[in-house]
Chain A
């Protein structure tokens, strides 16, 4: 069974339901025996509310149900009644600090008493039941479409099914006045087609029909697809080219988009007239790739190591997407605000799989050493993320490499250089 579905297995839920009813019956009888039914109900309702919030937050952050869907109610209830156990064991009377046990002391003071807790617990658990029902519905609709389930896809993907890339083309834009497109621009990791905003008009002015798109899981294609490997991206791109009747295109990739471009040329060389690779992340081997990607930052290191911290962090960022996208342009210096905003428009699995493809599935070393199509590489000498030396030190006898004075954001900083590289690349029709 898919890992994401394990917490919903009927047998496991049935066992937990029996556990829940059994344990609570014993606890209730115990409290009633002490003429303290009021205390059982207060702490049970608090435990139920906290369990509902726990399950809801887990579902929204991890985009998959939490383990122990029902058992967690017992766990939180037992935690809430720890002071009663200490009292009964003659260890200590209640003290104010015991509020750490889910407000054990002051929970009784809430206005409205247990009626308030009952309402809160029913509302909290009802909201969770509704969100979980929507999550199940979304995954079933994806299954009905023959897609792998979108387990782990956060944001709107928690309650809405992802679009099937076989029937929904990537979000795309055409620049220029003629068809079919002859140039395809592919953005990098945590980016979107907007990274080409300064390049595409120049190429259109040069007479090209330029196609830009948001790759699966990124930008306005964030809700398209449930798998995001390089081959999934290539499948979607071939569908997009077919959609526009483009028999052959010059493919320009930036950063991780270079890996997608190289894989496209590898799988469908007849559809690719040439490659222009801008700031390509080239590594000698997977281990070097891991080490280098770890250096990109703490979050990248967590992603490379497949740490749960990475999925939690990204899940939280997913919940905070709107405010982050609003605030981030203020911290981003001279970058266009729309480019910065789009850097948050992706799903966690898309980011994870894209980064993972650079060390597990990177076709760029082969594309440089043994190019299948005419290839031009443009690198920035100040690029710390994809250093020029990585390309220059790698075998690239049949590839033209241009080094310019700029950093990793070459399409934004030096659109003229990209324009010149495209002009130099032979367009074979």
Chain B
């Protein structure tokens, strides 16, 4: 801590700044901040959560049991299940990269409202497609409604104990499988 006596101040010693300098610096800083916040940081999009704080919070929940969910493939309760909600089937390559990035051992279930039976591509390993009831699943897992009011795009995570541990909107989820990996890894 600086004390007054740290250096013997001489008579007439002046501060090296004008008294206006702090005020000018504050005005300049506020202007830069305004430009950054208004022009650089993007506004939420139509697929984002109206409550920005709720989107990708990174905090695991201690949610309700979801054991009665009817899912294709392995039943809930043995390993983490990642429920991916989207309005259309993702690009196969992007989906494969995404599934590869998710932690080993997790089951990925795609819930798409209208997948289109003729266009279903081959799915990566550990991936299932929920062909019907995507809306009911979204409601059952408490997926938030996006700003445009449509079907949610994001994901939910059900823990090995069969409880809902995470549910978030995330329109660009395919680019960040590591997020899901960190969350599912913490559930082991």
The residues of A with any CB-CB pair to B shorter than 8 Å are 1-5, 7-10, 21, 28, 32, 34-38, 40-41, 58, 61-67, 83, 87-88, 90, 92-96, 105, 108-109, 113-114, 118, 122, 125-126, 128-130, 132-134, 136-137, 139-140, 143, 146-153, 226, 306, 308, 310-312, 348-349, 352-353
Contacts and interface: CB of A to CB of B under 8 A. Distances in A.
A67 B2 contact: yes
Contacts of A5: 13, 15-16
A139 B57 contact: no
A352 B18 contact: no
Interface stretch (B25-33, B83-91, B114-122, B128-136): B25-33
A122 B30 CA distance: 7
Contact of A63 (B4, B12, B32): B4
A4 B58 contact: no
Given A64-B2, A65-B2, A93-B182, 8 more contacts: A58-B1, A67-B2, A87-B179, A93-B58, A129-B25, A140-B14, A148-B11, A150-B4
Contacts of B176: 34
B131 to A, nearest CB: 29
Interface in B33-59: 33, 36-37, 40-42, 44, 52-53, 55-59
Contacts of A151: 4, 9
B86 to A, nearest CB: 16
A66 B53 CA distance: 34
A311 B2 CA distance: 8
Contacts of B29: 125
B175 to A, nearest CB: 8
B58 A87 contact: yes
The 4 A-B residue pairs with the shortest CB-CB distance, nearest first, are: A152-B4, A3-B7, A108-B53, A94-B58
18 contacts: A1-B7, A4-B9, A5-B15, A28-B41, A35-B175, A38-B55, A62-B3, A64-B2, A92-B186, A94-B59, A108-B53, A126-B26, A146-B12, A149-B9, A308-B1, A308-B3, A310-B3, A352-B3
Contacts of A134: 19
Given A125-B29, A129-B22, A129-B25, A149 B59 contact: no
A58 B3 CA distance: 11
Contact of B23 (A32, A95, A108, A130): A130
B15 to A, nearest CB: 5
B95 interface: no
Contacts of A126: 26, 30
A139 B25 CA distance: 19
B23 to A, nearest CB: 5
Contacts of A37: 40-42
